[in-house]
Amino acid sequence: MKEIFNIFRYISWVAIICSLLGSVLLFIVGAMKTYSAYETVFSSTLSSDSLSHMDTSEIATIYLIKSLDTFLIALVLFIFAHGIFTLFIYDKKIEQKFTVLKWISTPNIGHLKNVLGEVIVIILLVKFLEIILINLNSLTWEILILPVAVLFLAVSLKLLRLGRE
């Protein structure tokens, strides 16, 4: 029975490969958003009528914040792929030829969940900043739902203390 589980762990390659492919795709999309920021500033063209009330530098800032958000999600997918590989595929008995950065090493599944949770909180904060910048002239109290949710997520991560010894 133990051999069946040992063989079955290799199905996690599906999650690893798909996460890496998604990460590469999002790095490309993030680069395209950065290019859009440069294009907005240097060609002074507006891509949307909904942003026509804003200055080109403000629109470029929004594009850069969107690219930051996209890059963060790409990094989450990369960290997830590395964590799954480390936990389910990598043979820890083989001496490691390349040293891995301490923040990306994954000693257990709780640590992986903690890192992913922290990055998700940061992504939500960046998304809130993006929403604030786009709707700066028409803010309502409903916009507070996102930062309150981020606060609850951050507190719950602190209380769970995943992956901490």
Two tokens at 34? 């950065």
φ, ψ (nearest 5 deg) of residue 106:
-125, 95
User: What end-to-end distance do the CA atoms of the chain give, in Å?
Assistant: 31
pTM: 0.75
The pLDDT value recorded for residue 95 is 56
Q: How far apart are alpha carbons 112 and 105 in whole angstroms?
A: 9
The pLDDT value recorded for residue 31 is 97
Q: How far apart are alpha carbons 113 and 147 in whole angstroms?
A: 21
* 70 or 2, greater pLDDT: 70
Q: How far apart are alpha carbons 1 and 111 in whole angstroms?
A: 28
Confidence of residue 129 (pLDDT cuts 50, 70, 90): confident
**DSSP codes, the chain:** -HHHHHHHGGGHHHHHHHHHHHHHHHHHHHHHHHHHHHHHHHH---S-GGGTTS-HHHHHHHHHHHHHHHHHHHHHHHHHHHHHIIIII--TTSPPSSPPPGGG--SSHHHHHHHHHHHHHHHHHHHHHHHHHHTTTS--GGGGHHHHHHHHHHHHHHHH-TT--
Q: 31 to each of 38, 107, 109, how far by Cα in Å? A: 11, 32, 31
Render pLDDT for 58-84 as a digit per residue (tens, 0 to 9).
888 888 998 998 998 998 899 889 888
* 163 or 113, greater pLDDT: 113
Indicate if the pLDDT at residue 165 is higher than 50.
Answer: no
Percent of residues, the chain, with pLDDT higher than 70: 83
Render pLDDT for 135-149 as a digit per residue (tens, 0 to 9).
777 778 888 888 898
Q: Which residues contact 147 (CB under 8 A, 6 or more apart)?
A: 125, 128
Indicate if the pLDDT at residue 49 is higher than 60.
Answer: no
